[in-house]
Amino acid sequence: MPGTAELPVCDIDVFSPAALENPEELHRVLRTAGPVVYLSRYDVRALARHEEVHAALADWQHFESGSGVGLANFRHEESWRPPSVLLEADPPRHDAPRRVLRDILAPSALRVLRAAWQRAAEELVEQVLAGEGTFDAFTELACAFPLRVFPDAVGLGPDGRENLLPYGNMAFNSFGPVNDLVRADAHRVAELSAWVNAQCAREALTDDGFGARIWAAADRGDLTQAQAPLVVRSLLTAGVDTTVHGLAACLYAFATHPEQWQRLRERPELARVAFDEAVRWQSPVQTFFRTATTDVTIADAVVPEGTKILMFLGAANRDPGRWDDPDRFDLARDPSGHVGFGMGIHQCVGQHVARLEAETLLTALAARVEHIELTATPRRHLNNTLRSWASLPVRVHRTR
Amino acid sequence: MVVTLEISAKEAVAEGVVALTLVHPAGARLPDWTPGSHIEVVLPDRTVRHYSLCGSRWDAYTYRVAVLREPYGRGGSALVHDTLRPGDRVGVGGPRNHFPLVPSETYLFIAGGIGITPLLPMVQQAELLGAEWQLLYGGRTRASMAFLEELTAAHGERVHIAPQDEVGLLDLGSWLGAPRPDTKVYCCGPAPLLTAVEAACAHWPAYTLRTERFTAAEQAAPVRDLPFEVELRRTGRVVTVTPDVSVLDAVRRVGVDVLSSCEQGTCGTCLTPVLEGSPDHRDSILADHERAANTCMFPCVSRSRDDRLVLDL
C-alpha cells in the first residue's frame, strides 16, 4: 500500500482466536508501536492510543461511517444487509434517525421505566438467590436481566426472543473479516435476518414501547416511513448483546475485586460509576472502523482518502498515557472520557438504557449479596467485535 | 454547559446586521450541531441571547451567527453591535435545536429578515441531499437583507428575493400553491409573518409546517388561576407560585439558579425536567407530543394544571 513505508508495521492477525481471547497483549504492542500502525494482514491503518482514537471518533467530517464501520468497504463491497441508518450513516442523512432515537432513549424519557426495572431486578436476584448460591452469573443475570426488560420496553411480541442474542452476535461478527466466526453463522443469516426484520414492522410491535414511538415519529414526518423499521432494527441489533456483555463485565469485575464490591455495598449510588468503569476496563465493544473522506494526517502519518482505519476502543480505554494504573478496576476513578460507548455524533444512543439496566441490577444485588467469588475460570465467547462471555461461574454469600 | 469562545471576526453583512465568527481560544473542536440549531451567548452584561448558527458544520472549528440591531429590543443586540470586538471572549451554551430539518422530498423555506439565519444551513443541506427546494426571502429593503449575494450566487433561481419596498408584502398563498403531501414548509421570521404562514398552511397536511419563533406565540389564559406548589426535589424545597409570578421567578426567590434568556417561552434556555405533575405548557417551542409527555417544561412561561408540580431542580 502506498505511503506505509514510514509506519510501524504489525503482522499479527488482530481477529485471530488468540488475539480475541486475550486482547490486552495485542493492545500493548499496538500502543507501543506508534500513534498509527499499519496492519499488514488486513491492509489497514490502526489507532490504539486514547488521544488518536478519541479524535478520530469525534471527527465525522474526515472519518465517515457511511462506507461501513467494519472491515468491508461499502464503496466497493456490498453490505450483508441494508446498511444501518444510524451506525452506517453520516450527516445529513444520519441527523433525523439520530434525533428521533436520542429523544426516545433520553434519561428523562426513561424515568417511567425505572420503578418497573427496579422491581424486575429485585425479582430476578431473589429468584437466583433462592438456589444454592452457586450459579452462572453470565446466563442467570447478565443475559437474563436485559432479556427480561429490554424486549418489553421495545414492544416485541413474545415469540422468537431467543433469536436476539444470535442475531447480535452475527451482526457484530460481520464487522470483522470473513473468518471462521463469520462462517460458523453463515447458515443462519437468512433465518435470523428474516425474524428481526419481521419484528421491526409496526404491526409486530406493541403500542406503548420504543418501537411504537419510532413509528409515531415517522407518522409526524420526523423520519421517513422507510427509515422507521431500520431504526427499530438498530435497537434490536445494538441493544441486547452489548448490554449483556457490559453487565457481565461488571459482574466479572466485582467477582475478581472484592474490595470494590464492598465499596459499592457501602455506597450503592456508585452503581452508575461502576458500570462505566467496567465498560472502560473491559470495553464490550472492542473495535470499529471508519473510512477517510480525504487524505487525513494523524501524527505525521497520512491516511489516504477512501481507506479504512481500525480504532481499538479497548486499547484506548487502557492507555497508560490517559489513565493511571489503567488495568485496575477502580470505583474511585472517574471513568469520564472512556471511549467504550464511542464518542461524538455516533456515541451509543442507548447508553442511558444500558446504565439504567446496570444500575437497577447492581443495586438489587448490592442490597442482598455480601460477597461474590468465582468458582471456576470464566470462559470467553469469541466475537470479532465484542468482548464476550460464555460462562461466569460464581458463588454468592447472601446478606445475613 | 457554557464554554468560553473567542470572537475571531466581526463583519457587517447587511444594513443593521453583523456576523460574528466564534472559535475556541485553544483551537479545539466545537460541539457538533445540526441545521436549525441556536447557541446561547452570555453577553458582557451577563444577559443571555440566543442566535441561530448560520455557518457550515463541516467546519468543526468555527461557529457563525448574525445579529440584527434591534432599536426597540432589550439592549443585547446593541451590545453586540457597539461593544463586542474581535479578540473578545463570550460564554456560549448549547447548541440546541428546536427547529430540526426533517426528511422530505421537497422543502419550501420562508424567511423574514434576520429569520434567514437558521434557514441558511437548511438550504445547504437540502441541496446536499438532492431535495427539491425553493426559498422565499422577504425583508424591508434589499440592503437590509443579509446573505443575499451568498444565496443567489450559490443557488440562483431557487431563491426568490422579495424586498417589501420593491414588491410589497409576501404573496404567500400563490407562492405556496396547492397543498402537497411530499413537502415540508419551514418558516422563520417576525411574528406577523409566522401567523400569516400558519394561516396559509392551515389546510395543508398535519406536521407540514415547521416554524421557529423569535417572539412568543399568543397563548390562551392559564388553565388555573389559583396558586400551586412546586417541589424542587434535588434542593428539597417547596415553593408556592401565585398567579402573579412565573415559576422561574418563584424558584429564583428561594435561591435556586436556573439559566434563562428570553423569558417568553421561545428560546428554550430554561428547559427543566418535570418529575411529577402536569405542566400547563405556554411556550412556543414544544410540539404537541412533547407537551403530552410531561417530562419537561419551560418555567419562564409554563405553569401547573394541578395543585402540585415536582421539578428536577
Average pLDDT over residues A38-51: 98
pLDDT at position B294: 87
Taking a C-beta distance cutoff of 8 angstroms, is the pair A260, A277 a contact?
Answer: no
Q: Is B153 helix (H, G, I), strand (E, B) or coil?
A: helix
pLDDT above 70: residue B1? no
pLDDT above 80: residue B221? no
Identify all chain A residues contacting B289, using CB atoms and an 8 Å cutoff.
216, 220
Query: What is d(CA A243, CA A354) in angstroms, rounded to the nearest whole number?
Result: 6
Tens of pLDDT along A53-68? 999 999 999 999 999 9
Average pLDDT over residues B233-257: 91
- Selected residues 278-317 of chain A with any CB under 8 Å from a CB in chain B: none
Q: Do A221 and B102 touch (CB under 8 A)?
A: yes
Chain A residue with CA closest to B183: the answer is: A221
Residue A303 has which C-alpha cell?
491516511
Q: Is B102 on the interface with A (CB under 8 A)?
A: yes
Q: Do B58 and A216 touch (CB under 8 A)?
A: no
Tens of pLDDT along A94-126? 999 999 999 999 887 888 899 999 999 999 999
Residue A302 has which C-alpha cell?
497520512
Q: How does residue A221 score in pLDDT terms, banded at 50, 70 and 90?
A: very high
pLDDT above 90: residue B223? no
Tens of pLDDT along B115-145? 999 999 999 999 999 999 999 999 999 999 9
Domain extent, residue B37, equals 2-96
Does B237 map to a domain? yes
pLDDT above 60: residue B195? yes
Which among B213, B238, B269 is the end of a domain?
Answer: B213
pLDDT at position A159: 96
Q: How does residue B287 score in pLDDT terms, banded at 50, 70 and 90?
A: confident
Which among B96, B130, B163 is the end of a domain?
Answer: B96
Separation in Å, CA of B9 to nearest CA in chain A: 23
Tens of pLDDT along B39-91? 999 898 888 889 999 999 999 999 999 999 988 877 889 999 999 999 999 99
Taking a C-beta distance cutoff of 8 angstroms, is the pair B293, B267 a contact?
Answer: no
Query: What is d(CA A221, CA B208) in angstroms, rounded to the nearest whole number?
Result: 8
Which among B62, B96, B130 is the end of a domain?
Answer: B96
Chain B residue with CA closest to A91: the answer is: B34
Residues B206 and B282 in one domain: no
Residue of A95, A113, A231, A293 to mutate when probing chain B, most B C-beta within 10 A = A95
Average pLDDT over residues A203-212: 97
Query: What is d(CA B188, CA B266) in angstroms, rounded to the nearest whole number?
Result: 12
Minimum mean pLDDT among A26-35, B127-136, B213-222: which range? B213-222
Average pLDDT over residues A278-287: 98
List helix spans (H) across chain B. Answer: 76-82, 116-128, 148-155, 164-167, 172-176, 191-200, 247-253, 288-293
CB-based contacts of B13: which residues, under 8 Å, 6+ apart?
A: B19, B66, B146, B147
Does B220 map to a domain? no
Rounded to two decimals, the ipTM of the complex is: 0.92
Average pLDDT over residues B229-239: 93
CATH number at residue B23: 2.40.30.10
CATH number at residue B260: 3.10.20.30
Q: From the CB of residue A252, how many other CB atoms can be counted at a distance below 10 Å?
A: 24
Domains, chain A = 9-398 (1.10.630.10)
Q: From the CB of residue A375, how many other CB atoms can be counted at a distance below 10 Å?
A: 14
Average pLDDT over residues B238-253: 92
Query: What is d(CA A169, CA A179) in angstroms, rounded to the nearest whole number?
Result: 14
- Selected residues 201-240 of chain B with any CB under 8 Å from a CB in chain A: 206-208
Q: Do A220 and B287 touch (CB under 8 A)?
A: yes
Query: What is d(CA A40, CA B51) in angstroms, rounded to the nearest whole number?
Result: 49
Q: How does residue B215 score in pLDDT terms, banded at 50, 70 and 90?
A: low
Tens of pLDDT along B166-192? 999 999 999 999 999 999 999 999 999
pLDDT at position B72: 80
Pairs of residues, one from chain A and one from chain B, whose beta carbons lie less than 8 Å apart: 51
Query: What is d(CA A37, CA A28) in angstroms, rounded to the nearest whole number?
Result: 12
Q: How does residue B213 score in pLDDT terms, banded at 50, 70 and 90?
A: confident
pLDDT at position A24: 97
Query: What is d(CA A366, CA B33) in angstroms, rounded to the nearest whole number?
Result: 40
What is the residue-averaged pLDDT of chain B? 92
Residues B236 and B293 in one domain: yes
Q: Is A114 on the interface with B (CB under 8 A)?
A: no
pLDDT at position B44: 87
Total domains in chain B come to 3
Average pLDDT over residues B92-115: 95
pLDDT at position A271: 95
For residue A302, CA distances in Å to A49, B108, B203 come to 17, 42, 56
Residue B123 has which C-alpha cell?
438550504
Q: How does residue A3 score in pLDDT terms, banded at 50, 70 and 90?
A: low
Q: What DSSP designation does B37 have?
A: -
Chain A residue with CA closest to B209: the answer is: A221
Q: Do B102 and A344 touch (CB under 8 A)?
A: no
Residues B209 and B113 in one domain: yes
Q: What DSSP designation does B73 have?
A: S
Find the CB nearest B128 among A92, A221, A224.
Answer: A92
Q: How does residue A37 score in pLDDT terms, banded at 50, 70 and 90?
A: very high
Identify all chain A residues contacting B101, using CB atoms and an 8 Å cutoff.
92, 95-96
Residues B82 and B136 in one domain: no
Residue of A105, A220, A269 to mutate when probing chain B, most B C-beta within 10 A = A220
Residue B17 main-chain phi, psi, to 5 deg: -125, 125
Tens of pLDDT along A303-341? 999 999 999 999 999 999 999 999 999 999 999 999 999
Q: How does residue A5 score in pLDDT terms, banded at 50, 70 and 90?
A: low
pLDDT above 80: residue A1? no
Residues B205 and B286 in one domain: no
Average pLDDT over residues A248-263: 98
What is the residue-averaged pLDDT of chain A? 96
pLDDT above 90: residue A157? yes
Residues B85 and B117 in one domain: no
Does B223 map to a domain? no
Average pLDDT over residues A237-263: 98
Taking a C-beta distance cutoff of 8 angstroms, is the pair B138, B189 a contact?
Answer: yes
Element housing B33 (H / E): none
Does B277 map to a domain? yes
Does B219 map to a domain? no
Spell out where chain B has E strands. Answer: 2-14, 17-23, 38-42, 48-52, 62-68, 89-96, 106-112, 132-139, 159-163, 183-189, 209-213, 228-232, 237-241, 272-276, 279-280, 296-297, 303-304, 308-311
**pTM of the full structure:** 0.90
Q: What is the Cα Rg of chain B in Å? A: 20
Average pLDDT over residues A381-391: 98
Query: What is d(CA A257, CA A251) in angstroms, rounded to the nearest whole number?
Result: 10
For residue B46, CA distances in Å to A19, B67, B76, B153 come to 55, 17, 10, 39
Q: Do A92 and B100 touch (CB under 8 A)?
A: no
Share of chain A above pLDDT 90, in %: 95
> Which pairs from A318-322 meet CB under 8 Å and 24+ separation?
A318/A24, A318/A27, A318/A280, A318/A281, A319/A31, A319/A48, A319/A49, A319/A50, A319/A51, A321/A31, A321/A49, A321/A50, A321/A51, A322/A49, A322/A50, A322/A51
CATH number at residue B160: 3.40.50.80
